[in-house]
Structure 1
């Protein structure tokens, strides 16, 4: 395969690997943080420079605390503030970013003084306490007025339930029930005495703060006891237009397989939401994007009428000690009440950024196009031109993203695409440099010790590279071992043993190289080799078998050479198997080796070990026999070896069919008849055939093994499901 094709495929693979976390929704935290940063950057880039005068925040600030006393204030004081806002200033609607969950036990001194002046002769304590009940004053102040009280949902295991969240805006809905809308198991709301049919309620908690602790999304709906309740901003919108219901807008998602929540409609205004029923907070700007007035100035009536007249009022706090400061893209200390103001302002202007689920499809298409384009273009161009094209693609992606943000109000994720573009560019340039600097000398250094020089030369002349990192291939593997090596080594001096092994291994390796094989390793007296890598060899099984037979043929010559030097002769056992195996550079950071691994390799090793049992120097698997049909084989057995569940045929190669004598053919036929009768439980017939075979080959080990098995099975028949397979449980 040409180098640029490899680079292209690797680029496509890298693109796929980058897309998988996007599709699965399991993006790395580091990439998520980068996406958050890009979102914040775009948000700050398009901020409004003007305040929104329609929404005014009545702020319980440090000035108010100094003038009116520490928080919480007596609710009679809050009642006077409500009366001031509606009666004196004529506000349109009032919302409280706070909860009044406990009864007020304090006494307002102003109310006490007024009572004593009006009731100088009244001494009834019960009447006094009833008259001074601040909760009654506050409830009377908000009754029949456009007031929205805040509350928060509880998700603790204790399932706290203080009060009730008021009226649901959406009842039980089977489609919404399947969506990941935040669900609460408890609620902490205002006192029942403060709620009436004319009072709206909205939650102000946010269970969807991003992983970095920043307020970017806020749910406008939460599920509680099977029904759906509005956020403070949504409740204020409903109260402003005197509505009490919200209509979910459900469409089929971009896959066409399921329904998705894309928006809710409230008071005729379409509010885009995501699957969680959340909106992206449309921050107008830094804190102060809405007019702030001190609560004490409202109570004392010193605020200019034009600031509050007809305004939407949110009561909240910016005082640090009251713990309503949030981390937002605008600031690390941002007033929580202004978050609600931003959402309400965005709803009124229908200026809400949206990220419905089809933007996931847009992002995936964006990733695929960028990944494929860069994977195909960069490997075919120079570094300079590919750099310019990469910059152009990145600029185009950013430009289209900003257009969608500003004109379409789409929030299309950008971070993953920019990371993919950067990673692909660096990866392609790095691999290009690697491929360009690799030469024939490196190739020869990598494989010269494993394969014959002529194969190295052939490799270097091909317009392809060798896959060193690992791949699966159909190959053949060979193992050989010197029989009785331990006894031999005990009889020889270290110098003699070294000389013996050098003569033996040199002769064996020469044959392997002649047959285009790769020497994997020497393991003491054992040799491991394979065929089919690094260059693919369609006749790997034939070459492996030819090498083994030639080794057996030259073994007498090697033994004569050993005898001339006063060294003992050697006998060997060999095993060959063909099949799918993994090949590549394997090892550790300290040492690597180009080798093969897999079940097919293990089987070849087992075959080499079994030559001692079957009394033959060479065993091959059925897979080898199928691939090299021109040879005559004697099927010795069908066995199950250790570590392998599937049974395998083991055979002894006799030679090329056209070169075999009639005597050899007749002997193989007779032995095969015996094996067939044995497999069919015809013990007498099998015994007859094997005895006849011993007349032709009196020293044959396998025929005697079968006769021994038959004798045992006659006495103790095998189970009914026996299929002739013999198990070898040791190596």
Structure 2
């Protein structure tokens, strides 16, 4: 059965889809995703980040910017520590800032005393000489002045860790924030060297934080920054984390570790700093919670601070970060929100996210959620797409994508979860394309198979419907109500004797092509050609609720085309033809029937034989088309002339014969009256009411003097009167004819 064949194909497609899903699960389990999919995931992350940015400035954190204006007024970088000391004094003494962090290094000594400062000092100390002079000059050392400005103030200095083979050791990274031995198994970044601020600048009041980022993504984008790095078995904070600790006057953090799925290894999930739980990934990194594009925090030019021109309201009580946006100082980064983003603002975003406890993160069960997404997507699409149409499967796929995306955005915005989505969407797209492609090839194969079985019988569009339908198509045989049609060329034997074989072939090709086209136009199935005869049926292999109507329409279409067909035959010096057609509706058997040598998809049964007899009677009644009473019951919209009640050869049960006149809406009032007159005559004849019958038929002949059936009934009436036959059942027998 075609249905079982289709079911098998769907099972194969579903199985292949599930196999693709399992293969896609392997890179997730092995943590070895293709680079292109990693990039796609990063792009989706950036898209979500930009979509849900705050878009408002955070006044709590102010950036003192060493911008182009500052370089133009104060001179090229690096500036004298004397100048930086002056700026730091102004920030705390004049503007009342809360804390200052430097996104820069002070790894080299500054021994250049500004001439202006030296001249002012010499003028105030004219009598100093020798060691006393050298001691006093040391007080003017820029590093000494900068260290004095740092002393007893909440200031955080920046430094970088070294991972090169040289293992640089310049300065000290300050105090570690934890030495938890459990972190030894956590993949936090590990450094072999450090480049930090001068020891002279370090004091018990100064905090330190690293400003390098070993966790830059493969595409060079700053999406994550580590909060901790290991150096000599100790753990040190980033600039943002150190500033948070300094703000709350804390020195230590508490790592929050949980057991992994196996319960054997410790997994870092958060860092507790000053009572704030900061979610991190397994490597101790945070996803930078960008508030918006560059400028999400107030910027104040460094030269305005040095010269006392800055706005006090902007700086008072602020958390201050000193950095640069000048292109020449090479502190511009590529971020999801801008390709030329000041590095100092990255730290500002992290500090703001920590204070607001608003840092999106991947929970430790992220892999489980992603595996579930992929598995559900694979099972759902593998089972649904092969069992639905292209339109429905496309709608369901889009609906599933919308559900996945909706959950993902809800998790991002409400739960602050970063659930990977790109890999799942790729699988959904892959399965959709895979299933539709395999479906196309399977359907093409189905069409070819069905065309091989039915193509010689039915029109191509019905073949396509057969391949697309979900119901079973029974080939082995079944009984159903259908309509069968027979037609035959009148006097074909005498016509064929007049023609050469080539002419006969040409005539039959023209005739059968025209007849078959009309059958196909009305969704009929050509059963066979028997010489000049055509056998067709409606209602199989596809169910057709209007099989009777379609068969009658096809027959009338054939009669309509006969004049044009005969003109074509005459144009090729071939004889005109006339036909007789019989149609019957009833219960019949349909399926592949035959022998082991040859099979044919055909119909059999008493209803089929009756249609053949009706076609044969068209010659007797001189009607081109006769139909049974069963057919007329299925097409009440047509007008019929009641021809006779007969008993045909090989069948005892009588049947009423009708001749179609046309659709009721197309038949004129005069035609309807004439048909009713004729029909009343037939009924009167069957009741042996000879006078009434004769009057009815003579009235009908007034409208159609050449009608053969009316003349036939007048002859029957005359014969019945002469013979004086006894009362009868009104059935005319053709069993011996």
Q: Do both proteins adopt the same fold according to a TM-score greater than 0.5, normalized to the shorter chain?
A: yes
3-state SS, counterpart of residue 229 of structure 1: strand
2:513 corresponds in structure 1 to none
Select the residue among 271, 278, 284 that pairs with 1:277. 284
3-state SS, counterpart of residue 177 of structure 1: helix
5 Å-filtered alignment, 1:432-447, equals 432-438=439-445
Looking at structure 2, the residues matched to 13 and 402 of structure 1 have their Cα atoms a distance apart, in angstroms, of 29
Q: C-alpha displacement at 1:184, in angstroms?
A: 0.3
Q: Are the aligned partners of 1:253 and 1:358 in contact in 2 as well (CA < 8 Å)?
A: no
Q: C-alpha displacement at 1:441, in angstroms?
A: 7.1
Q: Are the aligned partners of 2:185 and 2:266 in contact in 1 as well (CA < 8 Å)?
A: no
Select the residue among 312, 315, 321 that pairs with 1:305. 312
For the pair 1:136 / 2:161, whether they are aligned, the reply is: no
Q: How big is each residue's C-alpha offset from its partner over 1:101-130, in whole Å with a ceiling of 9 and x where there is no partner? A: 010022223321321221133354624541
3-state SS, counterpart of residue 333 of structure 1: strand
Looking at structure 2, the residues matched to 442 and 162 of structure 1 have their Cα atoms a distance apart, in angstroms, of 80
Select the residue among 319, 327, 330 that pairs with 2:337. 330
Q: 1:387 to 1:441 in 2, by over 3 A?
A: closer
5 Å-filtered alignment, 1:612-651, equals none
Select the residue among 77, 82, 103 that pairs with 2:83. 77
Give the root-mean-square deviation of aligned CA atoms: 1.9
Q: Are the aligned partners of 2:325 and 2:331 in contact in 1 as well (CA < 8 Å)?
A: yes
Looking at structure 1, the residues matched to 264 and 198 of structure 2 have their Cα atoms a distance apart, in angstroms, of 45
2:112 corresponds in structure 1 to 106
Q: Are the aligned partners of 2:185 and 2:265 in contact in 1 as well (CA < 8 Å)?
A: no
5 Å-filtered alignment, 1:404-423, equals 404-423=411-430
Q: How big is each residue's C-alpha offset from its partner over 1:605-660, in whole Å with a ceiling of 9 and x where there is no partner? A: xxxxxxxxxxxxxxxxxxxxxxxxxxxxxxxxxxxxxxxxxxxxxxxxxxxxxxxx
3-state SS, counterpart of residue 2 of structure 1: helix
Q: 1:342 to 1:441 in 2, by over 3 A?
A: closer
Q: C-alpha displacement at 1:332, in angstroms?
A: 0.7
Q: C-alpha displacement at 1:442, in angstroms?
A: 8.2
Q: How big is each residue's C-alpha offset from its partner over 1:188-236, in whole Å with a ceiling of 9 and x where there is no partner? A: 0000000011110000000000010000000000011111100000000
1:146 corresponds in structure 2 to 154
Looking at structure 2, the residues matched to 113 and 293 of structure 1 have their Cα atoms a distance apart, in angstroms, of 31
Q: C-alpha displacement at 1:252, in angstroms?
A: 2.3
For the pair 1:241 / 2:248, whether they are aligned, the reply is: yes
Looking at structure 1, the residues matched to 334 and 447 of structure 2 have their Cα atoms a distance apart, in angstroms, of 60
Q: C-alpha displacement at 1:176, in angstroms?
A: 1.2
2:121 corresponds in structure 1 to 115
Q: C-alpha displacement at 1:260, in angstroms?
A: 1.0
Aligned residues: 445
Q: 1:113 to 1:442 in 2, by over 3 A?
A: farther
Q: Are the aligned partners of 1:78 and 1:138 in contact in 2 as well (CA < 8 Å)?
A: yes
For the pair 1:267 / 2:274, whether they are aligned, the reply is: yes
3-state SS, counterpart of residue 339 of structure 2: coil
1:181 corresponds in structure 2 to 188
Q: Are the aligned partners of 1:273 and 1:279 in contact in 2 as well (CA < 8 Å)?
A: yes
Q: 1:83 to 1:379 in 2, by over 3 A?
A: same
1:59 corresponds in structure 2 to 65
TM-score by length of 1: 0.59
Q: C-alpha displacement at 1:327, in angstroms?
A: 0.2
Q: How big is each residue's C-alpha offset from its partner over 1:268-294, in whole Å with a ceiling of 9 and x where there is no partner? A: 101000100000000000000000001
Looking at structure 2, the residues matched to 376 and 256 of structure 1 have their Cα atoms a distance apart, in angstroms, of 36
1:19 corresponds in structure 2 to 25
3-state SS, counterpart of residue 338 of structure 2: coil
Q: 1:172 to 1:256 in 2, by over 3 A?
A: closer
2:49 corresponds in structure 1 to 43
Q: C-alpha displacement at 1:131, in angstroms?
A: 2.7
Q: Are the aligned partners of 1:172 and 1:226 in contact in 2 as well (CA < 8 Å)?
A: no
Select the residue among 381, 386, 390 that pairs with 1:374. 381
Q: C-alpha displacement at 1:132, in angstroms?
A: 2.0
Q: How big is each residue's C-alpha offset from its partner over 1:50-88, in whole Å with a ceiling of 9 and x where there is no partner? A: 100000000000011111111111101111111101111
3-state SS, counterpart of residue 327 of structure 1: strand
Q: Are the aligned partners of 1:275 and 1:356 in contact in 2 as well (CA < 8 Å)?
A: no
3-state SS, counterpart of residue 403 of structure 2: helix
Q: Are the aligned partners of 1:44 and 1:330 in contact in 2 as well (CA < 8 Å)?
A: yes
Q: 1:441 to 1:49 in 2, by over 3 A?
A: closer
2:239 corresponds in structure 1 to 232
Q: Are the aligned partners of 2:107 and 2:171 in contact in 1 as well (CA < 8 Å)?
A: yes
State the 4+ residue runs in structure 1 displaced beyond 4 angstroms. Answer: 254-257, 439-445
Q: 1:17 to 1:68 in 2, by over 3 A?
A: same
Looking at structure 2, the residues matched to 238 and 258 of structure 1 have their Cα atoms a distance apart, in angstroms, of 28
Looking at structure 1, the residues matched to 192 and 266 of structure 2 have their Cα atoms a distance apart, in angstroms, of 26
Looking at structure 2, the residues matched to 255 and 192 of structure 1 have their Cα atoms a distance apart, in angstroms, of 46
Looking at structure 2, the residues matched to 86 and 437 of structure 1 have their Cα atoms a distance apart, in angstroms, of 80
Q: Are the aligned partners of 1:214 and 1:328 in contact in 2 as well (CA < 8 Å)?
A: yes
Q: Are the aligned partners of 2:186 and 2:266 in contact in 1 as well (CA < 8 Å)?
A: no
3-state SS, counterpart of residue 161 of structure 2: strand
2:134 corresponds in structure 1 to 126
Looking at structure 2, the residues matched to 318 and 108 of structure 1 have their Cα atoms a distance apart, in angstroms, of 25
Looking at structure 2, the residues matched to 103 and 131 of structure 1 have their Cα atoms a distance apart, in angstroms, of 15
Q: C-alpha displacement at 1:16, in angstroms?
A: 1.2
For the pair 1:316 / 2:323, whether they are aligned, the reply is: yes
Looking at structure 2, the residues matched to 38 and 307 of structure 1 have their Cα atoms a distance apart, in angstroms, of 36
Q: 1:346 to 1:183 in 2, by over 3 A?
A: same
Looking at structure 2, the residues matched to 243 and 141 of structure 1 have their Cα atoms a distance apart, in angstroms, of 21
Q: How big is each residue's C-alpha offset from its partner over 1:334-366, in whole Å with a ceiling of 9 and x where there is no partner? A: 000000000000000000001133111111111
1:389 corresponds in structure 2 to 396
2:257 corresponds in structure 1 to 250
Q: C-alpha displacement at 1:256, in angstroms?
A: 4.3
3-state SS, counterpart of residue 310 of structure 2: coil
Select the residue among 14, 23, 35 that pairs with 1:8. 14
Gaps of 5+ in 2: 1-6, 453-737
Q: 1:434 to 1:26 in 2, by over 3 A?
A: same
Q: Are the aligned partners of 1:221 and 1:230 in contact in 2 as well (CA < 8 Å)?
A: yes
1:399 corresponds in structure 2 to 406
Looking at structure 1, the residues matched to 87 and 138 of structure 2 have their Cα atoms a distance apart, in angstroms, of 21
3-state SS, counterpart of residue 247 of structure 1: strand
1:165 corresponds in structure 2 to 173
Question: Larger radius of gyration, structure 1 or 2?
Answer: 2
Looking at structure 1, the residues matched to 275 and 347 of structure 2 have their Cα atoms a distance apart, in angstroms, of 20
1:459 corresponds in structure 2 to none
Q: C-alpha displacement at 1:253, in angstroms?
A: 3.0
Q: C-alpha displacement at 1:255, in angstroms?
A: 5.0
